[in-house]
């Protein structure tokens, strides 16, 4: 059985026991989280309408927080020699999915 959840404006396909990295959540490591599923697939049985998904939730726990890889952005204007470099590191949380139901 797996579910499609939304976290931080992105969608993730998860099953029980999966470990995923999502945008930083405001919970301490070891804290519990719940997600509302957008779609639930159990073998041939697919639930995707809001009426079928009412009352279902995906539970998880925060394993830890980390920062993603550094992304460098460079700008250069020809003939003037103007250069500018910026960097960005996304704040992430590692979440273990504990149950679907």
pLDDT tens, residue by residue, 8-31:
899 999 999 999 999 999 999 999
* pLDDT on residue 71: 97
Q: Give the C-alpha separation, 15 to 7, whole Å.
A: 15
* pLDDT on residue 44: 85
Residue 50, H or E segment: helix 50-53
Q: Give the C-alpha separation, 24 to 57, whole Å.
A: 20
């Amino acid at each position: 059985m797996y579910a499609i959840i939304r976290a931080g404006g992105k969608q993730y396909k998860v099953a029980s026991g999966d470990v995923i990295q999502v945008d930083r959540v405001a919970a301490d490591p070891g804290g519990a989280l719940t997600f509302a599923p957008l779609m639930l697939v159990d073998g041939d049985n697919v639930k995707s309408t809001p009426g079928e998904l009412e009352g279902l939730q995906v539970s998880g726990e925060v394993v830890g927080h980390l920062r993603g890889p550094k992304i460098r952005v460079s700008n250069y204007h020809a003939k003037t020699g103007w250069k500018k470099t910026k960097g960005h590191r996304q704040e992430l949380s590692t979440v273990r999915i504990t149950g679907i139901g």
